[in-house]
Amino acid sequence: MISFRFQTIGQKLLPLLNKPGSSEHGVQRSKADNGTATPPQKTEPAISPPQPFNLSTSTIKYLSTLNLFAYLCALFQLSMISVSNLSLRYGKRTLFEDVNLKFTQGNCYGVIGANGAGKSTFLKILSGEVNQTSGSVAFTPGERMAVLKQNHYEFDEFSVLETVMIGHKELYAIMKEKDAIYMKEDFTEKDGERAGELENLFAEMDGWNMESNAATMLSNLGITEDNHYKLLKELDNTQKVRVLLAQALFGNPDILLLDEPTNDLDIETIAWLENFLADYQNIVLVVSHDRHFLDAVCTHIVDIDFAKMSIYTGNYTFWYESSQLALKQRSDQNKKMEDKVKELQEFIRRFSANASKSKQATSRKKALDKIDITEIKASSRKYPAIIFNNTGREAGDQILQVENLGKNGNEGILFDKVTFMVNKGDKIAVLSQNSLATAAFYDVLTGRDTDHRGEFKWGVTISTADIPNDNSEYFAGKDENLVDWLREYSGTEADEQFVRSFLGRMLFSGEEVLKNVKVLSGGEKMRCMFSRMMLQQANLLMFDEPTNHLDLESIEALNNGMKDFKGAILFTSRDHQLTETVANRIIEITPKGTIDKLMTYDEYINSSDVAKLREEMYA
Ligand SMILES: Nc1ncnc2c1ncn2[C@@H]1O[C@H](COP(=O)(O)OP(=O)(O)OP(=O)(O)O)[C@@H](O)[C@H]1O
Ligand SMILES: [Mg+2]
């Protein structure tokens, strides 16, 4: 039956579709390959479209064993990624077990899962940075892949323009090798030959226009020319992510992998990225913990849980609600099967009606009709216990006095004439239009940066602990396990059991506490930072974007921990709900002084008086 369908479709369409490259075999990256991000090596055929006009019996037989879907993708030259029997183990821990998935062109897949579930690792397997234990990943021939990594600090020391050019890996490598040869003092004949080869390749690949193309791409993404020669670290976080996106897009990828792109982004830039992805025609896999963003961009959800990965059609809300329904139905032992089916149909009907405004309404509705809710598993997500319990010295009345504090960045004033006094019980949201200003403000208050104008004075009873936006200095170059790492911050008398109990509250148990800190995921590093902060027993806490990298369960635990803390807090967060529920005072640090209001965040952003003030302060 299936072979008949292949025959019919194949014989009708192939004569019409003699596209260049359509007879090429698929490319596959299996366990043994150590592939690079752009184009993977060719090996055994993964998907093998037949030759036009020439369907031999053996080809038809072969095709009948293949998936119709995979075949049609290859036939129409659509991009596709096919993951087969993929497993990955780290010691005793199984991260993935027998994963089988397909990703196809035109779809945007939201990859979700708890911190440490394996989202970044999965993207790294696709891009060839990490080798799986067994199984394979196959691509349509000639596919280009680009990645925006979770770490936004990796290219800090590169210029903006160079960061983008690095995105075209082959061309950039040629340029670097060429430059290195010309720099040589003892330039040999062999060097001359190699330089000649490289020059030819460079010209063939339009290398001479590389810089101007990169500049155009940057300008199209809203990065103006005066920023192109700055170092990446000199840019505001929102601009930085745009540059990293330009890098990913520069090689003109067929497959775009984005690992938590909305970390560090403001609402406007997130909206811009949502629009950008909505119009993007190629395959996108995007890891995110941001529910609103996932709903806006995803056509499918890939959930990583129980070492398995499953693809669900629909956006995040649909996945979430259906998994909640699955949970409820499973616990409802006595309910009859027909009732369950009815309930499911009603749910899908309601959801389809809501989704009908979206672009993909028709196809999504069709797909939803086919969903079998028994396949949706209840989630295994857990909540860490983030409790900042100060059992040390209580804070006196003198907490912190800040007077005329000011700091310049490379581009001029970041903040100036900042004056305020912290009172008991203050939970202050520190705002600025420029994320470099708030980061610099915490650097000054923590003493990491002593080069500033004005003064500040901590009360004698005050002990502080802080979580900076960039925590790499706590982990870079460290070669120790979690217990030893945390012991450094817990005083000499702390025994292993004591340290383990703190790690346990952060969901690290058993063998997990013995893994090296350098392999930790983004969210796991944050959980270690929270353990450290909890151990410090400070009576004043500072946080700069603490929800970056956190899964929804950890965000909720942190939110409660901050609300319940009895001491004072200074914090900066783009998480609206967290800021609204924690802050009882808002201080905006601007180039012309402070706006200081005893009100909630919502009151602050909705106040016309504040809006007027802000206009003046940033003018
Ligand atoms: N080389 C390694 N050895 C042992 N464990 C590792 C290694 N590399 C990664 N891990 C572990 O694998 C798990 C998955 O890591 P990964 O970075 O993929 O998580 P993630 O889902 O992206 O999490 P997050 O949301 O926090 O970014 C983590 O528990 C991590 O500590
Ligand atoms: Mg990750």
Mean local confidence (pLDDT), 134-153: 88
Which pLDDT belongs to residue 585?
98
Which pLDDT belongs to residue 379?
67
What residues make up the domain containing 601?
400-618
Which pLDDT belongs to residue 399?
95
Residue 582 lies in a domain: yes
- What SS3 class is residue 59? helix
Which pLDDT belongs to residue 187?
83
Distances (CA, A) of 400 to 100, 397, 404, 446: 56, 9, 13, 12
Nearest to 219 by CA among 238, 242, 235: 242
More confident residue, 52 or 318: 318
519 lines ligand 1 (CB under 6 A): yes
Instruction: Please say which residue of 199, 224, 252 terminates a domain.
Output: 252
Residue 185: band (very low, low, confident or very high) from pLDDT cuts 50, 70, 90: confident
With a CB cutoff of 8 Å and minimum separation 6, the contacts of 565 are: 388, 390, 427, 541
With a CB cutoff of 8 Å and minimum separation 6, the contacts of 178 are: 195, 198, 199, 202
Residue 607 lies in a domain: yes
Residue 64: band (very low, low, confident or very high) from pLDDT cuts 50, 70, 90: very low
User: Ligand 1: which residue has its CA nearest to atom 19?
Assistant: 116
Which pLDDT belongs to residue 374?
58
Instruction: Please say which residue of 224, 252, 280 terminates a domain.
Output: 252
For the whole model, what pTM was predicted? 0.77
Residue 592 lies in a domain: yes
Instruction: Please say which residue of 252, 279, 308 terminates a domain.
Output: 252
More confident residue, 287 or 67: 287
Provide the domain count of the chain: 2
Residue 496 lies in a domain: yes
Residue 156 lies in a domain: yes
Ligand 1 atom, smallest distance to 524 CA: 26
More confident residue, 293 or 330: 293
* Distance (Å) from CA 303 to ligand 2 centroid: 14
CA 612 to chain centre: 35
Residue 174 lies in a domain: yes
Mean local confidence (pLDDT), 118-143: 93
Which pLDDT belongs to residue 29?
62
Q: What is the DSSP string of 273-308?
A: HHHHHHT--SEEEEE---HHHHHHH-SEEEEEETTE
Residue 370 lies in a domain: no
Could you give the CA distance from residue 57 to residue 71 in angstroms, rounded to a whole number?
A: 16
Residue 31 scores a pLDDT above 60 = no
Long-range contacts, stretch 494-499, CB < 8 angstroms, 24+ apart: 494/535
Residue 388 lies in a domain: no
Could you give the CA distance from residue 536 to residue 534 in angstroms, rounded to a whole number?
A: 6
Token readout for 367 is 């797909």
Lowest pLDDT segment from 40-54, 304-318, 389-403: 40-54
Lowest pLDDT segment from 164-168, 303-307, 346-350, 388-392: 346-350
Lowest pLDDT segment from 23-27, 224-228, 405-409: 23-27
Distances (CA, A) of 200 to 175, 205, 211: 11, 9, 17
Distances (CA, A) of 87 to 37, 100, 136: 20, 10, 9
More confident residue, 142 or 107: 107
Please state, for a pLDDT cut of 90, what percent of the chain lies above it: 52
Mean pLDDT of the chain: 82
Which pLDDT belongs to residue 158?
95
Lowest pLDDT segment from 47-51, 232-236, 306-310, 418-422: 47-51
Ligand 1 atom, smallest distance to 520 CA: 31
More confident residue, 379 or 463: 463
Which pLDDT belongs to residue 423?
95
Lowest pLDDT segment from 48-57, 190-199, 459-468: 48-57
For the domain that residue 540 is a member of, what is the CATH number? 3.40.50.300
| Contact call for residues 64 and 6 (beta carbons, < 8 A) | yes
* Distance (Å) from CA 116 to ligand 1 centroid: 5
Lowest pLDDT segment from 34-43, 59-68, 231-240, 440-449: 34-43
Residue 354: band (very low, low, confident or very high) from pLDDT cuts 50, 70, 90: low
123 lines ligand 1 (CB under 6 A): no
User: Ligand 1: which residue has its CA nearest to atom 13?
Assistant: 116
Which pLDDT belongs to residue 44?
30
Residue 80 scores a pLDDT above 70 = yes
More confident residue, 7 or 112: 112
Nearest to 250 by CA among 204, 215, 288, 200: 215
* Distance (Å) from CA 123 to ligand 1 centroid: 11
